[in-house]
């Protein structure tokens, strides 16, 4: 295991920055393992109540081709276009039920129950409220990722349908294995979510980006990418419009779990297979979060968090 870059800070709300190791799996069109790679990434750990933590992975900035080429995928995945994404942090896993309870203090009527399973049956409005409450308690600007950030983070430098390669198997993701995407053998249909981190991650160190639960993004729904932002920002629309979900779920065939696939739904309703993960532009706290904030000398705790923020910025510049 990679050594910690800094010791875990004292205090239930103080973050720690850590390196972690993981294995990436690559498959061919038959679903056979074509390679394995050992990788490392950096994460920051936010301490929540009851010994629960939220791991945020550092995602380097870069440019990628978003969507699908004409003749591949669905019409709403076109036109394929270049997007420049700034560095940010993203949840290592979809938000889990224990994380939800630690932040929100109430429990949704989950279909699939388990502390380390992703939340389900949550609406876009619910997800936004979680981000708001988490931001209020930490002083950091937690939010839903933009659709471009989500696909960039999922692909992690790949251009194939899945970050595993040309296809996927039920050894690598949770979906309806009674269907095949290419020439891989059929697998199993679990009929429920699985605990987060049950399958191999991508090169960035993110887990469960294919299948398990659909994940809400901040963007309003558009029927295609004509006129889409090229800077990775949220593409907004009139209030009340349908919102975007990405990634596919346990109740979908593999073709709906591709990196480029999109889904729309009204913001006030959740479904059995709707979850989300959070994003963060910076781990630095907002110095003016309190009403009547003064310019008093920062506390020792604030100085330590500032050192972590500076270290993150140095990671982004590498």
Q: How far apart are CA 143 and CA 157, in angstroms?
A: 23
Percent of the chain with pLDDT over 70: 83
The reported pLDDT for the residue numbered 241 is 85
The reported pLDDT for the residue numbered 315 is 56
For residue range 120-151, what is the model confidence (pLDDT) as tens digits? Answer: 999 999 999 999 999 999 999 999 999 999 99
Please enumerate, as own/partner, the contacts of 175-180 that have beta carbons within 8 Å and a separation of 24 or more: 175/210, 175/211, 175/248, 175/249, 175/250, 175/252, 175/253, 175/254, 175/256, 175/257, 176/250, 176/251, 176/252, 176/253, 176/254, 178/253, 179/253, 179/254, 179/255, 180/254
Which of the residue ranges 11-25, 101-115, 150-164, 286-300 would you say has the lowest mean pLDDT?
Answer: 286-300
Q: How far apart are CA 247 and CA 225, in angstroms?
A: 18
The reported pLDDT for the residue numbered 211 is 98
- Residue by residue, DSSP assigns 54-110 as EEEEEE--EEEEES--TTSS-GGG-S-EEEEE--EEEESSSPBHHHHHHHHSS----
Does 20 have pLDDT greater than 60?
A: yes
Q: What is the CATH number of domain 16-283+296-317?
A: 3.90.1580.10
Break the chain into its structural domains and give their ranges. 16-283+296-317
How confident is the model over 280-299, as a mean pLDDT?
A: 51
Which of the residue ranges 11-25, 26-40, 77-91, 251-265 would you say has the lowest mean pLDDT?
Answer: 11-25
Percent of the chain with pLDDT over 90: 79
The reported pLDDT for the residue numbered 292 is 29
For residue range 207-242, what is the model confidence (pLDDT) as tens digits? Answer: 999 999 999 999 999 999 999 999 999 998 775 589
Residue that has been written with the tokens 């590498």 in this structure: 318
The reported pLDDT for the residue numbered 3 is 33
For residue range 163-211, what is the model confidence (pLDDT) as tens digits? Answer: 999 999 999 999 999 999 999 999 999 999 999 999 999 999 999 999 9
Which of the residue ranges 13-17, 51-55, 201-205 would you say has the lowest mean pLDDT?
Answer: 13-17
Which of the pair, 315 or 101, is modelled with greater confidence?
101
Confidence of residue 283 (pLDDT cuts 50, 70, 90): confident
Q: How far apart are CA 161 and CA 283, in angstroms?
A: 31
Given CA atoms 16, 17, 19, 24 in this order, what sign does their dihedral have?
A: positive
Which of the pair, 265 or 318, is modelled with greater confidence?
265
The reported pLDDT for the residue numbered 70 is 87
């Amino acid at each position: 295991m990679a050594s910690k870059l800094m010791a875990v800070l004292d205090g239930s709300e103080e973050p720690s920055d850590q390196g972690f190791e993981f294995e990436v799996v690559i498959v061919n069109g038959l679903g056979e393992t074509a390679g394995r790679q050992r990788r490392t990434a950096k994460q920051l750990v936010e301490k929540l109540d009851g010994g629960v933590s939220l791991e945020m992975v550092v995602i380097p900035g870069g440019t990628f081709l978003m969507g699908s080429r004409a003749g591949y995928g669905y019409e709403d995945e076109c036109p394929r276009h270049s997007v420049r994404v700034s560095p940010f942090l993203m949840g290592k896993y979809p938000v889990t039920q224990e994380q939800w309870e630690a932040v929100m203090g109430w429990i949704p009527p989950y279909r699939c129950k388990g502390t380390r399973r992703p939340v389900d049956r949550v609406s876009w409005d619910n997800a936004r409220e979680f981000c708001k409450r988490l931001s209020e308690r930490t002083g950091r600007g937690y939010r839903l990722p933009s659709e471009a950030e989500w696909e960039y983070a999922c692909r992690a430098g790949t251009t194939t349908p899945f970050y595993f390669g040309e296809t996927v198997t039920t050894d690598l993701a949770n979906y309806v294995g009674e269907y095949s995407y290419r020439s891989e053998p059929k697998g199993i249909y679990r009929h429920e979510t699985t605990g987060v981190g049950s399958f191999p991650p991508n090169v960035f160190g993110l887990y469960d980006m294919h299948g398990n639960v659909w994940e809400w993004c901040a963007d309003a729904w558009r029927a295609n990418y004509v006129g889409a932002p090229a800077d990775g920002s949220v593409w907004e629309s009139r209030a009340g419009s349908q919102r975007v979900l990405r990634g596919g779920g346990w109740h979908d065939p593999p073709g709906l779990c591709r990196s480029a696939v999109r889904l729309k739904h009204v913001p006030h309703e959740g479904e059995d297979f709707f979850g989300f993960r959070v994003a963060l532009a910076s781990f630095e706290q907002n110095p003016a979060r309190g009403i009547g904030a003064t310019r008093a000398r920062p506390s020792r705790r604030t100085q330590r968090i500032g050192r972590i923020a500076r270290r993150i910025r140095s990671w982004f510049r590498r």
